């Protein structure tokens, strides 16, 4: 099928609903869209749980929040059923009435496909059969078939832009934060008095949905003690909703002393990562934020494919095991050696390399 030529679209819609890391991996495509269409109105349809990372972004004119949590909470309550139903109908009516010249579905599942279709746009772009899930391709009109199956998500997302005859060359995106977030993080760093130390962020958590990707708390404790023993560093543990207990468990197992961040929003976490000299973590959203901000990163990977889901910059090291069964997509497994067999010493070797690179650059500067 011949791809459409849209010279100056008035309205464009990006559909990427969740999760945090996946939303961040669409930001380079957003940057390319804005560069190519500087005068167009660009909107982004995203779920409520992930929308904060997009707030105040200069390349986005409108954030359309899909209130999934609220609808799920209220739809089965008799007292709120009809109000919620009315809210749902109004939401989809507005989506259609906005009359987008082009809708790009980066998500590629049934839910995003239905939303893309309901916009009524004649130019609906998505991934072709075999490159999306749940018959998503039935809801889009123009399809891209990426060359490589094992393609990083950022490159895969950029490939969709070829439908619009836009260069798919990577452009570094931005993740803006407010002055209040900047002040919040500055005050926090002042309280732990770490100005002369190498600042290392350790994010040991994943969502409960992705708990199968977690490295053990004992390993993180051993690793952190090794770092503090060999380097003049300030290690700061970060965490997300319902994850503080994981961090406290690690700190309780340590011989040394580390700081625990008091982050309350994703933008505050982003600004803290921006101030770091090194980031350590697993396959989770904050890892992708660190990579996007070009912070040197040590990524601890278990079952997932780091070529597809790993950090996307040249200042990163992935620690993983090349096993006969990896990578895999399973969420339960009776033999999780892909993550349990990774030793603290192996991760420490990677950390040491990046810290020494940082110190050498600092001394030269």
pLDDT in tens, 83-142: 999 999 999 999 999 999 999 999 999 999 999 999 999 999 999 999 999 999 999 999
Is residue 234 within a helix (H) or strand (E), and if so which, with residue range?
strand 233-237
pLDDT in tens, 187-227: 999 999 998 899 999 999 988 888 889 999 999 999 999 99
| Gap between the Cα atoms of 42 and 136, Å rounded | 22
Task: Give the count of domains, the chain.
Answer: 2
> What is the domain extent for residue 156?
11-164
Query: Which 3 state secondary structure label does DSSP give 281?
Result: strand
Residues 228 and 253 in one domain: yes
Looking at the chain, the whole-number percentage of residues with pLDDT higher than 90 is 85
Q: Is residue 6 part of a domain?
A: no
> Residues of 336-345 as b/e, b for ≥16 C-beta within 10 angstroms?
eebbeebebe
pLDDT band at 1 (very low <50, low <70, confident <90, very high): low
Residues 232 and 325 in one domain: yes
Residues 202 and 106 in one domain: no
Q: Is residue 296 part of a domain?
A: yes
Last residue of a domain, which of 136, 164, 192? 164
CA atoms within 13 A on the CB side of 175: 29
Mean pLDDT of 155-160: 96
CA torsion 334-339-344-349 (nearest 10°) is 150
Last residue of a domain, which of 130, 164, 198? 164
Mean pLDDT of 135-155: 94
| Gap between the Cα atoms of 106 and 125, Å rounded | 9
Q: Which residues contact 42 (CB under 8 A, 6 or more apart)?
A: 12, 13, 14, 30, 33, 34, 59, 60, 61, 62
In this structure, are residues 267 and 179 in contact, taking their beta carbons and an 8 Å threshold?
Answer: no
End-to-end CA distance of the chain: 54
pTM of the model: 0.95
Domain holding 41: CATH number?
3.40.50.2000
């Amino acid at each position: 099928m011949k791809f459409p030529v849209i010279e100056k679209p008035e309205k464009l819609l990006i559909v990427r609903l969740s999760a945090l890391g996946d939303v961040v991996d669409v930001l380079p495509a957003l940057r390319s869209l804005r560069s190519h269409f500087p005068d167009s109105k660009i909107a982004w349809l995203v779920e409520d749980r992930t929308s904060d990372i997009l707030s105040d972004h200069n390349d986005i004119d409108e954030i359309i929040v899909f209130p999934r949590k609220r609808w799920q909470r209220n739809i089965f309550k008799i007292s709120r059923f009809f109000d919620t139903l009315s809210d749902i109908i109004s939401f989809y009516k507005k989506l259609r009435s906005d009359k987008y010249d082009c809708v790009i579905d980066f998500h590629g599942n049934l839910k995003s496909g239905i939303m893309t279709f309901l916009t009524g746009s004649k130019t609906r772009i998505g991934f072709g059969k075999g490159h999306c899930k749940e018959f998503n391709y039935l809801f889009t009109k123009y399809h891209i078939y990426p060359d490589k199956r094992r393609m990083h998500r950022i490159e895969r997302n950029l490939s969709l832009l070829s439908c619009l005859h836009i260069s798919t060359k990577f452009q570094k995106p931005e993740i803006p934060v407010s002055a209040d977030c900047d002040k919040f993080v500055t005050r926090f760093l002042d309280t732990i008095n770490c100005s002369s130390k190498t600042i290392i962020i350790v994010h040991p958590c994943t969502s409960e949905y992705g708990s199968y990707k977690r490295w053990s708390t004992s390993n993180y404790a051993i690793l952190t003690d090794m770092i503090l023993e060999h380097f003049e560093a300030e290690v700061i543990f970060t965490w997300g909703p319902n994850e503080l207990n994981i961090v406290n468990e690690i700190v309780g197992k340590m011989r040394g002393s580390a700081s625990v961040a008091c982050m309350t929003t994703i933008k505050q976490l982003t600004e803290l990562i921006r101030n770091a000299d090194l980031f350590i973590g697993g396959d989770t959203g904050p890892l992708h934020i660190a990579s996007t901000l070009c912070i040197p990163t040590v990524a601890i990977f278990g079952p997932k494919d780091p070529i597809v889901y790993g950090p996307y910059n040249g200042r990163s090291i992935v620690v993983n095991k090349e096993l006969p069964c990896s990578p895999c997509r399973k969420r339960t497994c009776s033999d999780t050696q892909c993550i349990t067999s990774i030793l603290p010493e192996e991760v420490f070797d990677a950390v040491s390399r990046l810290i020494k690179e940082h110190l050498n650059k600092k001394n030269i500067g």
